[in-house]
């Protein structure tokens, strides 16, 4: 299913990184270099030269590439849940958008890609854009975000099951992999360092022990709520709080509202999406439902209006998960629930 506004810190970081994208510190996105070979989600991927016509099939990988200053190396993007992160608007505008949602395989091939990346295994799976094997037969190397395969079982239905907790190291690993593929390793290290610094600042001195959270991505009839161990688990863990659905390892299980009301979280973290695939995509629609439904309107968080609005990308394992940590931390302090 999953795959608020970014902080001022992200703006400064993104602007700095984009500005560094032209020529800096030994990076060379177009210079000569040996082929890069990576072990990626159980597949060996070899990229002979830094890509010049990359296509990103999900917003998460897109924003990493844009933050690395690679807009001039991209031939297309697709599958957007949110406006692009602040500071990346000009870079994003330079790259053709193949589709707001999933493009057809033919549409991607029309862009003549020399490299294709995705954030989710489903994008390269049955019912997705195309399999990695299909791209491979055409000589196009592919890359899948390690956050969607490391410690995760995608063999069943839905959004998969986490066999172990996700950490930000998976996101940092994706940044470093893509930076290496494009020959901009120093930019990758600067981006990772900036993200680490933001997490440290957001969580410094914060004590949220005993605070309970619930994360709602979309759908008012049968809501998709976060299980224990995906990106919301990163946010919860960094803050020292507890997810009321930490007893399920499904990425985004669908849970009845009666069960939600019984668990009565202190704070509701809700997705604020621009797409139109499910009921209650925007935060405004979610809040309207919560305050009008007889099952949910008497929940503690609803009565006290303890809402945190997050972009969809902040609720997925992306660089904007850091945005989620910042925004939830700030909200807990505002609500007097954490030091």
Is there a contact between 60 and 178 (Cβ–Cβ < 8 Å)? no
Place of tokens 């000009």: 90
pLDDT at 167: 97
Place of tokens 């600067």: 190
Q: What percent of the chain has pLDDT over 70?
A: 91
Give 215-271 pLDDT, tens digit per residue: 999 999 999 999 999 999 999 999 999 999 999 999 999 999 999 999 999 999 999
pLDDT at 122: 95
CATH number, domain of 171, equals 3.40.50.1980
pLDDT at 267: 98
Q: Which of 199, 223, 244 is the last residue of a domain?
A: 199
Give the confidence band of 180 by pLDDT, cuts at 50, 70, 90. Answer: very high
Give 121-167 pLDDT, tens digit per residue: 999 998 999 999 999 999 999 999 999 999 999 988 789 999 999 99
C-alpha to C-alpha distance for 246 and 47, rounded to whole angstroms:
39
Q: How far is CA 278 from the centre of its chain?
A: 18
* pLDDT for 34 beyond 70: yes
What would the 3-class secondary structure string for 4-45 be?
CCCCHHHHHHHHHHHHCCCCCCCCCCCCCCCCEEEEECCEEE
Within a domain: residue 141?
Answer: yes
pLDDT at 30: 53
Between 126 and 337, whose confidence is greater? 337
Within a domain: residue 116?
Answer: yes
| 159 and 281 inside one domain | no
Within a domain: residue 261?
Answer: yes
| 46 and 157 inside one domain | yes
Across 284-291, average pLDDT = 97
Burial class (CB in 10 A: 0-12, 13-18, 19+), 304: exposed
| 78 and 14 inside one domain | yes
pLDDT at 32: 63
Within a domain: residue 82?
Answer: yes
* pLDDT for 101 beyond 50: yes
| 214 and 302 inside one domain | yes
Q: Which of 183, 199, 215 is the last residue of a domain?
A: 199
Range of the domain at 277: 205-334
Within a domain: residue 173?
Answer: yes
* pLDDT for 6 beyond 60: no
| 59 and 137 inside one domain | yes
SS3 279: coil
| 168 and 273 inside one domain | no
pLDDT at 328: 98
- Average model confidence (pLDDT) across the chain: 91
| 107 and 46 inside one domain | yes
Within a domain: residue 66?
Answer: yes
Across 74-92, average pLDDT = 97
| 191 and 252 inside one domain | no
Q: Which of 199, 232, 253 is the last residue of a domain?
A: 199
For 148, 150, 246, 318, the CA distances from 163, given in Å and listed in that order, are 11, 9, 13, 19
Give the confidence band of 27 by pLDDT, cuts at 50, 70, 90. Answer: confident
| 209 and 117 inside one domain | no
Q: Where are the alpha helices (DSSP H) in 111-241?
A: 132-137, 168-182, 185-203, 231-239
| 186 and 245 inside one domain | no
pTM score: 0.90
* Count of the separate structural domains present in the chain: 2
Across 276-303, average pLDDT = 95
| 144 and 45 inside one domain | yes
SS3 253: coil
Within a domain: residue 19?
Answer: yes
* pLDDT for 9 beyond 50: no
Within a domain: residue 299?
Answer: yes
- Bridge partner residues of 43 (DSSP): 40
| 101 and 181 inside one domain | yes
């Amino acid at each position: 299913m999953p795959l608020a506004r970014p902080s001022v810190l992200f703006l400064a970081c993104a602007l700095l990184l984009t500005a560094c994208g032209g020529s800096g510190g030994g990076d060379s996105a177009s210079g000569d270099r040996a082929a890069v070979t990576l072990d990626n989600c159980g597949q060996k991927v070899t990229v002979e030269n830094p890509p010049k016509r990359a296509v990103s099939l999900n917003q998460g990988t897109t924003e990493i590439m844009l933050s690395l200053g690679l807009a001039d190396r991209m031939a297309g993007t697709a599958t957007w849940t949110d406006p692009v992160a602040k500071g990346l608007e000009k870079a994003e505008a330079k790259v053709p958008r193949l589709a707001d949602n999933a493009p057809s395989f033919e549409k991607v091939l029309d862009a003549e890609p020399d490299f294709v990346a995705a954030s989710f295994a489903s994008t390269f799976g049955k019912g997705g854009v195309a399999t990695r094997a299909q791209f491979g037969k055409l000589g196009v190397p592919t890359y899948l975000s390690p956050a969607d395969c490391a410690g995760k079982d995608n063999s069943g239905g839905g959004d998969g099951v986490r066999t172990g907790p996700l950490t930000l190291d998976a996101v940092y690993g994706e940044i470093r992999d893509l930076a290496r593929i494009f020959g901009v390793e120093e930019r990758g290290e600067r981006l990772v360092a900036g993200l680490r610094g933001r997490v440290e600042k957001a969580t410094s001195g914060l004590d949220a022990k005993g605070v309970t959270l619930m994360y709602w991505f979309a759908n008012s009839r049968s809501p998709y709520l976060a299980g224990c161990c995906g990106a919301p688990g990163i946010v919860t863990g960094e803050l020292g709080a507890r997810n009321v659905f930490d007893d399920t390892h499904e990425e985004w299980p669908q849970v009845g509202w009666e069960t939600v009301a019984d668990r009565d979280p202190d704070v509701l973290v809700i997705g604020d999406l621009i797409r139109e695939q499910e009921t209650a995509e925007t935060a405004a629609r979610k809040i309207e439902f919560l305050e009008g439904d007889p099952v949910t309107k008497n929940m503690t968080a609803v009565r006290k209006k303890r809402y945190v609005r997050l972009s969809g990308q902040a609720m997925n394992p992306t660089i904007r998960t850091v945005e989620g940590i910042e925004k939830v931390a700030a909200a807990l302090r505002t609500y007097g629930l954490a030091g």
